[in-house]
Chains A and B, each alone.
Chain A
Amino acid sequence: MNNPPKSPDDLNKYQIDFFSAITKTFLFTEDGIDYQMDSYPIDLVEQIIPLKNLSGKERLLTYNQQYWFRLFSTMQSEFPLLCNLLNYEAFNKLISHYLDENSSESFSLTNLSNRLLDFLKNSRDWTQYPILLEATELELIHIESFDALQLSNELQLVPMTVKEIHLIESKGLAFQPSCTLFHEHWNLVFSRHQAIEQLEEEEDIIELEPLLEESFWCIFRKDNIVEEEQISFIQYELLSLLKNGHSLNDALVSIENSATEQDLILIEKNLSSWFARWVSLGWFVLPK
């Protein structure tokens, strides 16, 4: 291939200045939003043709507003629960802080939130609110499940062939990439449904107060809808071991070591029906 086209010298500086102006964060004050137009790069502002009723800065502000309003709106739709728990203003402040430090590096808006959980976990302001971290984790699982690949070698039937049973017993089960286990300490799955309902019915937003309630879930995509299936603690333990690459035999041995006698009876009695249900929900693919 020939040499790549060479950018005109002044284009790069113009674009760095423009990007810096439109990504300038807003100040959220008691009186509303304070735009920081005075901190737009002066070289850029001087190049913009003013109109009779609009200065160069005011014209540039349109791009500054569009940048943030688009990103706020995208994140609000991806994180309905977090947005409800924080309220819109606090949510927008969080997103503006997050994206100021983590500008998008992808052509797709779907990757915008990739580093949000790490951002929260690394900030003392947020680690004191574990419910918000857990809500973020739940909503990220939903986003990932929506976009995940669907592998074609899905385990379809129970009972399985002898070869398949042998593979599972010895090598373990692989999961569909859309399938993720979730351990919650508040009833966030339920609360998330409530938050979405409020948005869909365009009701006045009522701030939700999730209850302190521990439960376990598998979040997965079936027939191209992301769903949640509640599971017991022992099922969560077993599935976690399988997900971490243990064979079924190893997983059962490991559980036997820590489970109560009652649990063991439960497992022995229900293992086949559990698997029948999980297979019917399309959680597994055959190991290679």
Chain B
Amino acid sequence: MTNKNSFENLGVGIGLRVDHYPEIFTSKPNIDFFEIISENFMVDGGLPLFNLNRILEQYRVVLHGVSLSIGSSDPLDFDYLARLKKLTKITKTPWFSDHLCWSSIGGKYSHDLLPLPYTEKIADYIAEKARIVQDYIELPFGLENLSSYVSFKNSEMPEWEFYKRVVEKADCFMMLDVNNIFVSSVNHEYDPHDYLKDLPYDRVLQMHVAGHTKKDNGTLLDTHNNYVCEEVWELYRYVYEKTGGVSTLLEWDDDFISFPETHSEALKAKNYQVIGNE
């Protein structure tokens, strides 16, 4: 299948989690690809790398990070990047991704994906860092849009313009999470289709789908512990067609269901993969 960029469409994958290992190692299910959380394997040895090597014998793997903290006012951490680069060689990942956010400041880590005010200066600062990261790792770099729970008065543009500005200035790519678009659209009271109207779809290298949770106060949380809702699948259908078809990944990180059920939830994506004649 050809899409609007030159990235291979790996099919429909699942986020690899420790809870899945027994099923994967015993029944060796037929999965198009796995996505791993890079930081869990940026270690010198021990069980994580042992298990990763067993996965690599059988499956294609792509890397997805959570701690690059590219939006932090701290400088880039080249020790982190060196470890990440080593992991890209081990896994032979075709690309790597992380979030358009910050998670650490002054060398202290929040282990969360934190939001930014959407200003031109911040966009340009992050774009410069993203360009350096992509050059250093020597692979296509996808930035993922965030689920967020606050928005700022000093933002100068909506999130989608900020996102577009960063990836275009950095000449990097989008890891587009349609669940995050939906979650943020509810939390910030905008129409998710406004988000999708003018994105540079030729820069989308992979997509994420996931489930979320509604708090009592109405806030949607990006919890990855639930089935993908119909509204998110419909956004997925729209984006998939716009991109010409890209690799798709289901994230399920908590309140696990059985591995076959997780796989079958991921495969629902195929029902929404319609490529029109353009």
Q: A22-B112, A23-B110, A150-B46 given as contacts; is B221 within 8 A of A49 (CB)?
A: no
Extra 14 A-B pairs, beta carbons < 8 Å, given A22-B114, A53-B217, A70-B111? A5-B128, A7-B73, A11-B122, A14-B117, A19-B105, A49-B152, A62-B149, A62-B150, A103-B109, A146-B46, A146-B47, A147-B48, A148-B46, A224-B47
CA distance A8 to B121 in the complex (A): 6
CA distance A288 to B137 in the complex (A): 36
CB distance from B174 to the nearest CB of A (A): 21
Decide: A8 and B149 in contact? CB cutoff 8 A. no
Interface of chain A residues 249 through 278 with chain B (CB within 8 A): none
Q: A5-B128, A5-B129, A49-B151 given as contacts; is B43 within 8 A of A15 (CB)?
A: no
Decide: A105 and B109 in contact? CB cutoff 8 A. yes
Q: Does A4 contact B (CB under 8 A)?
A: yes
Q: Give 1 or 0 for each of A27-54: 1 = CB within 8 Å of chain B CB.
A: 0000000000000000000111101011
CA distance A103 to B108 in the complex (A): 6
A6, A8, A109, A150: the one within 8 Å of B111 (CB): A109
Closest chain B residue to A145 by CB distance?
B46
Which residues of A are found within 8 Å of B106, using beta-carbon distances? 16, 19
CA distance A103 to B106 in the complex (A): 11
Can you list 15 A-B contacts (CB < 8 A)?
A8-B119, A8-B122, A8-B125, A12-B73, A15-B73, A16-B106, A22-B110, A23-B110, A48-B150, A54-B218, A59-B149, A63-B150, A107-B77, A107-B109, A150-B46
- Residues on A close to B: CB < 8 A? 4-8, 11-12, 14-16, 18-19, 22-23, 46-49, 51, 53-54, 56, 58-60, 62-63, 66-67, 70-71, 103-110, 146-150, 178, 221, 224
Which residues of B are found within 8 Å of A70, using beta-carbon distances? 111-112
CB distance from A57 to the nearest CB of B (A): 10
Closest chain B residue to A151 by CB distance?
B45
Closest chain B residue to A105 by CB distance?
B107
Q: A8-B119, A48-B151, A54-B219 given as contacts; is B39 within 8 A of A107 (CB)?
A: yes
- Of A7, A103, A221, which is in contact with the most chain B CB atoms at under 10 Å from its CB? A7
CB distance from B223 to the nearest CB of A (A): 10
Decide: B112 and A5 in contact? CB cutoff 8 A. no
CA distance A117 to B107 in the complex (A): 22
Q: A15-B105, A60-B150 given as contacts; is B125 within 8 A of A6 (CB)?
A: yes
B45, B112, B152: the one within 8 Å of A63 (CB): B112
Decide: A15 and B72 in contact? CB cutoff 8 A. yes
Closest chain B residue to A58 by CB distance?
B217
CA distance A8 to B123 in the complex (A): 10
